[in-house]
């Protein structure tokens, strides 16, 4: 079978633990046998990030700027336990946060809707998309421990002006403190990206934060988002798209009773948390896609879940695992589909569609990993292994690609 040529290179970012194992299987069985593709490879394994002082993550982000499309495996954001486990120099920042900061985009996370797996939230009949602001907040914070009494202040020194001091807390005993920031340009880019996405999908927009408590930081997000909505009001009205601002606790309560089919725009940390909740509500944490969209037209696709540490340790023992690879497969589908659109290479776009069809058909044929079989009342013994699922996708992909290439 002749291979389909991908015109422009794509950036590939390898990851950690069980998802790294799955990633290699996907490449070996579902990508490289069918595509003549140049992958600009970056190893984002936590040990390599430590070895390069995280320069490899910066290089990967800049490569996405160069080539326009990146596809990323799930990675570890190390805590104190991980520092000991992998003998790291320090607790490195989230690689996703580093990439988001460099590309200054917005993350859109959408569940993979499977018609034979009913959502855990009975009212949800249409996907809920999480639009996650991709800069600052907790992911670019400065935090430290206060080990004895003393004052913690925020000091702002305007260029050419006198310092302005704001008391955070007068500590009488040990504690902790954290400072976060954001940028007006990034917030506007976030709002604009959400509006563009909603218009392309014909989805209503909800934006939620907590301005009643954070009367400057959160309120500023609300103000900027509203300004951008007002600029596009006529266009939104013509498309019958509504905009709602809600306090985040109210948004959470209302979405649990809603039928879905809307974009929920959230700040960075809120979007991180809520995307997992939405994924679980639609079936599984392994059923959530994620794409980072830069305002300059770069795209980075990845699975929205973690590295599946528990399964990885079973894998290292030589035991069979049943890990859901759909989100990682869909990362490749999204990246290849966008590459085909940008390059105007219809055969690459059609391959991405064929891979999507093969993956979905596999599940519709009742071939599922354990996390999915448990949601449809099947026993664990009826689930396939990690490799068994990918092999089943390959079987269905073979016939589709044969028809595609003639």
Query: What confidence tens digit (pLDDT) does each residue in 266-317 have?
Result: 999 999 899 888 988 887 778 888 999 887 889 999 998 899 999 999 999 9
Q: Is 150 left (phi over 0), alpha (psi -120 to 50) or beta?
A: left
Q: How many CB atoms lie within 10 A of CB 33?
A: 14
Average pLDDT over residues 380-406: 91
In the three-class reduction of DSSP (H, G, I as helix; E, B as strand; rest coil), residue 111 is classed as strand
pLDDT digits (tens, 9 = 90+) for 7-20: 999 999 999 999 99
**What pLDDT was estimated at residue 280?**
84
In the three-class reduction of DSSP (H, G, I as helix; E, B as strand; rest coil), residue 153 is classed as strand
pLDDT(375) > 90 = no
pLDDT(100) > 70 = yes
Tell me the pLDDT of the chain averaged across its residues. 94
pLDDT digits (tens, 9 = 90+) for 53-68: 999 999 999 999 999 9
pLDDT(406) > 70 = no
Residue 256: phi and psi, rounded to 5, are -70, -20
Q: What pTM, to 2 d.p., does this model score?
A: 0.84
pLDDT(367) > 90 = yes
Residue 195: phi and psi, rounded to 5, are -65, -45
**What pLDDT was estimated at residue 49?**
98
| Sheet strands (E) in 136-236 | 142-146, 150-156, 164-171, 175-179, 204-209
The rounded percent of the chain whose pLDDT value lies above 90 is: 80
Q: 11: closest CA among 351, 349, 292, 305? A: 292
**What pLDDT was estimated at residue 224?**
97
**What pLDDT was estimated at residue 328?**
97
Average pLDDT over residues 75-85: 95
What is the set of domains in the chain, with CATH numbers? 1-105+298-406 (3.40.718.10), 118-140+183-282 (3.90.190), 142-179 (no CATH)
pLDDT class for 104, splitting at 50, 70, 90?
A: confident
Alpha-carbon radius of gyration of the chain: 22
pLDDT digits (tens, 9 = 90+) for 179-220: 999 999 999 999 999 998 898 889 999 999 999 999 999 999
Torsion of CA 280, 284, 285, 289, to 10 degrees: -100
Q: Which range (34-38, 134-138, 241-245, 323-327) has the least confidence?
A: 134-138
- 24: which 2 tokens? 């290699």
pLDDT(117) > 90 = no
Q: Which range (104-118, 153-167, 251-265) has the least confidence?
A: 104-118
HSE of 396, CA atoms in CB hemisphere, 13 A: 19
């Amino acid at each position: 079978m002749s291979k389909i040529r991908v015109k422009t290179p794509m950036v590939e970012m390898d990851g950690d633990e069980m998802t790294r194992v799955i990633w290699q299987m996907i490449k070996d069985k579902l990508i490289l046998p069918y595509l003549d593709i140049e992958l600009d490879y970056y190893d984002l394994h936590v040990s390599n990030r430590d070895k390069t002082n995280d320069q490899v993550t910066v290089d990967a982000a800049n490569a996405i700027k160069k080539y326009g499309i990146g596809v990323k495996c799930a990675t570890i954001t190390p805590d104190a336990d991980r520092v000991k486990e992998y003998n790291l120099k320090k607790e490195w920042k989230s690689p996703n946060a580093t990439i988001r900061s460099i590309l200054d985009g917005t993350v859109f996370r959408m569940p993979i809707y499977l018609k034979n797996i009913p959502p855990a939230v009975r009212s949800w009949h249409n996907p809920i998309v999480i639009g996650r602001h991709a800069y600052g907040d907790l992911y670019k914070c400065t935090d430290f421990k206060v080990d004895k009494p003393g004052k913690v202040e925020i000091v702002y020194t305007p260029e050419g002006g006198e310092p302005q001091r704001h008391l955070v807390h007068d500590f009488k005993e040990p504690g902790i403190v954290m400072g976060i920031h954001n940028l007006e340009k990034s917030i506007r880019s976030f709002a604009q990206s959400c509006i563009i996405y909603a218009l392309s999908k014909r989805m209503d927009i909800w934006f939620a934060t907590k301005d009643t408590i954070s009367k400057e930081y959160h309120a500023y997000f609300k103000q900027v988002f509203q300004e951008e909505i007002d600029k596009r009001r006529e266009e939104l009205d013509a498309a019958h798209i509504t905009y709602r601002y809600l306090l985040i606790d109210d948004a959470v309560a209302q979405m649990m009773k809603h039928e879905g089919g809307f974009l929920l725009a959230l700040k960075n940390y809120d979007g991180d948390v809520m995307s997992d909740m939405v994924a679980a509500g639609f079936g599984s944490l392994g059923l959530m896609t994620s794409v980072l969209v830069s305002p300059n037209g770069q795209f980075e696709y990845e699975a929205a879940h973690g590295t599946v540490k528990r399964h990885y340790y079973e894998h290292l023992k030589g035991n069979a695992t049943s890990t859901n690879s759909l989100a990682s497969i869909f990362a490749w589908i999204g990246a290849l589909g966008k590459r085909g659109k940008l390059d105007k290479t219809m055969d690459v776009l059609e391959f991405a569609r064929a891979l999507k069809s093969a993956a979905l058909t596999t599940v519709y044929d009742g071939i599922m990993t354990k996390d999915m079989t448990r949601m449809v009342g099947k026993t664990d013994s009826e689930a396939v292994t990690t490799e068994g699922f990918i092999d089943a996708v390959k079987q269905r992909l073979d016939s589709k690609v044969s028809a595609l290439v003639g």
